[in-house]
Amino acid sequence: MNSEWQTVIGIEIHAQINSKSKLFSSSSTEFGSAPNTQVSLVDAAMPGMLPVINKFCIEQAVKSGIGLNAKINKKSIFDRKNYFYQDLPQGYQISQFKDPIVGSGSIEIEIDGTKKAIGIERLHLEQDAGKSLHDQDPNLTFVDLNRSGIALMEIVSDPDMASPEEAVAYVKKVRSILRYLDTCDGNMEQGSLRADINVSVRKKGESLGTRCELKNLNSFKHITSAINFEVARQIKIIENGEEIKQETRLYDVSSDTTKSMRSKEDAHDYRYFPDPDLLPLNLDEKWIEKIKNELPELPDEKKDRFITQYKISNYDAEVLTSDRQTSEYFEEVISNRNPKLVVSWVASELFAALNKENLSIENSPVNSKQLGELIDEIEKGTISNRAAKEVFEEMCVSKKSVQEIINDKGLIQISDTSEIEKFINQVLVDNPINVEKYKNGKTKLLGFFIGEVMKVTKGKANPGLLNQIVKKKLDN
Amino acid sequence: MIEFNKKITLKLAKLSRLSLSNSQLENLEKDLTSILSFIDQLKEINTDSIDPTSNSLDQNLILRDDLAEDVLSNEKLLQNVPESELGFFVVPKVIE
ipTM value, please give it.
0.89
Tell me what the mean pLDDT of segment A37-41 comes to.
Answer: 96
What is each CA distance from A459 to A403, A408, A420, in whole angstroms?
18, 16, 12
Tell me what the mean pLDDT of segment B54-69 comes to.
Answer: 90
Q: Is the pLDDT of residue A411 over 90?
A: no
Would the CB atoms of B92 and A52 count as touching at under 8 Å? no
Task: Fill in the DSSP letter of residue A18.
Answer: -
Is residue B1 less than 8 Å (CB to CB) from chain A?
Answer: no
- Residues 34-53 on B with a CB inside 8 Å of A are none
Instruction: Pick A403 or A333 by higher pLDDT.
Output: A333
> What DSSP letter does each residue of A182-220 carry, written as one string?
TS----TTTTSEEEEEEEEEEETTSPP---EEEEEE-SH
pLDDT score recorded for residue A99: 96
Would the CB atoms of A37 and B87 count as touching at under 8 Å? yes
Q: Is the pLDDT of residue A3 over 80?
A: no
Instruction: Pick A302 or A457 by higher pLDDT.
Output: A302
Identify the bridge partners of residue A248 per DSSP, sorted by sequence position: A213
Cβ neighbours of A256 (radius 10 Å): 12
Q: Is the pLDDT of residue A93 over 90?
A: yes
Question: B80 to chain A: nearest residue by CA?
Answer: A46
B92 contacts in chain A (CB < 8 Å): 139-141
pLDDT per residue as tens digits for the range A308-332? 999 999 999 999 999 999 999 999 9
Shared domain check, A441 and A360:
no
Contacts of residue A381, defined as CB under 8 A and 6 or more positions apart, other chains included, come to A413, A415, A462
pLDDT score recorded for residue A402: 87
CA A181 to mean position of chain CA atoms? 13
Looking at residue A374, its amino acid is L
Tell me what the mean pLDDT of segment B41-62 comes to.
Answer: 87
Would the CB atoms of A282 and B60 count as touching at under 8 Å? yes
Is residue B58 less than 8 Å (CB to CB) from chain A?
Answer: no
Q: How many CB pairs under 8 A join A and B?
A: 139
Instruction: Pick A305 or A390 by higher pLDDT.
Output: A305
Percent of chain B with pLDDT over 70: 96
The rounded distance, in Å, linking the Cα atoms of A340 and A77 is 51
Q: Which three-class secondary structure state does DSSP give residue A242?
A: coil
Shared domain check, A63 and A170:
yes
State the pLDDT confidence band at B57, using cuts at 50, 70 and 90: confident
Residue in A36, A95, A247, A281 to test binding to B, most B beta-carbons within 10 Å: A36
Shared domain check, A276 and A402:
no
Shared domain check, A284 and A403:
no
Shared domain check, A128 and A246:
yes
Name the phi and psi angles at A133, rounded to 5.
Answer: -110, 120
pLDDT score recorded for residue A476: 73
Shared domain check, A137 and A231:
yes
- Tell me how close the Cα of A67 comes to any Cα of chain B, in angstroms: 22
Contacts of residue A153, defined as CB under 8 A and 6 or more positions apart, other chains included, come to A14, A15, A17, A60, A61, A64, A123, A124, A125, A183, A184
Would the CB atoms of B62 and A52 count as touching at under 8 Å? yes
Shared domain check, A206 and A303:
no
Q: How many domains does chain A have?
A: 3
pLDDT score recorded for residue B78: 96
Domain boundaries, chain B: 6-43
Looking at residue A53, its amino acid is I
Would the CB atoms of B73 and A276 count as touching at under 8 Å? no
pLDDT score recorded for residue A457: 85
Shared domain check, A131 and A255:
yes
The rounded distance, in Å, linking the Cα atoms of A150 and A239 is 44
Would the CB atoms of B93 and A19 count as touching at under 8 Å? no
Which of A240-254, A386-400, A410-424 is predicted with the least confidence, judged by mean pLDDT?
A: A410-424
Task: Fill in the DSSP letter of residue A348.
Answer: I
Burial B53-81 (b: 16+ CB within 10 A, else e): ebbeeeeebeeeebebeebbebeebbeee
Shared domain check, A29 and A171:
yes
Residue in A87, A140, A260 to test binding to B, most B beta-carbons within 10 Å: A140
Closest CA to A350 of A338, A339, A363, A337: A363
Is residue A143 less than 8 Å (CB to CB) from chain B?
Answer: yes
Shared domain check, A349 and A275:
no
Residue that terminates a domain, selected from A409, A437, A452: A409
The rounded distance, in Å, linking the Cα atoms of B54 and B59 is 12
Contacts of residue A193, defined as CB under 8 A and 6 or more positions apart, other chains included, come to A13, A14, A15, A16, A171, A175, A178, A184, A186, A187, A218
What is the domain extent for residue A430? 417-475
pLDDT per residue as tens digits for the range A249-296? 999 999 999 998 865 444 568 999 999 999 999 999 999 999 999 999
Per-residue H/E/C for chain B = CCCCCHHHHHHHHHHCCCCCCHHHHHHHHHHHHHHHHHHHHHHHCCCCCCCCCCCCCCCCCCEECCCCCCCCCHHHHHCCCCCEECCEEEEECCCC
pLDDT score recorded for residue A267: 54
Is residue B69 less than 8 Å (CB to CB) from chain A?
Answer: yes
B67 contacts in chain A (CB < 8 Å): 20-21, 26
Shared domain check, A176 and A81:
yes
Would the CB atoms of A276 and B55 count as touching at under 8 Å? yes
Q: Is the pLDDT of residue B96 over 70?
A: no
For residue A442, the domain's CATH number is: 1.10.10.410
pLDDT per residue as tens digits for the range A175-211? 999 999 999 999 999 999 999 999 999 998 899 999 9
pLDDT score recorded for residue B2: 67
Highest mean pLDDT among A66-75, A403-412, A441-450, B71-80: A66-75
A262 contacts in chain B (CB < 8 Å): 96
pLDDT per residue as tens digits for the range A214-246? 999 999 999 999 999 999 999 999 999 999 998
Highest mean pLDDT among A275-279, A466-470, B3-7: A275-279
- Tell me how close the Cα of A243 comes to any Cα of chain B, in angstroms: 24
State the pLDDT confidence band at A40, using cuts at 50, 70 and 90: very high
Classify residue A56 as exposed, middle or buried by CB count within 10 Å of its CB (0-12, 13-18, 19+).
Answer: buried
Residue that terminates a domain, selected from A237, A260, A288: A288
Shared domain check, A434 and A361:
no
Tell me what the mean pLDDT of segment A429-449 comes to.
Answer: 89
For strand B63-64 and strand A53-54, is the pairing parallel, antiparallel, or unpaired?
parallel
Contacts of residue A182, defined as CB under 8 A and 6 or more positions apart, other chains included, come to A18, A296
Residue that terminates a domain, selected from A387, A409, A431: A409
CATH of domain B6-43: 1.10.20
Handedness of CA A268, A272, A278, A282 (dihedral sign): positive
Does pTM surpass 0.95?
Answer: no
The rounded distance, in Å, linking the Cα atoms of A128 and A142 is 17
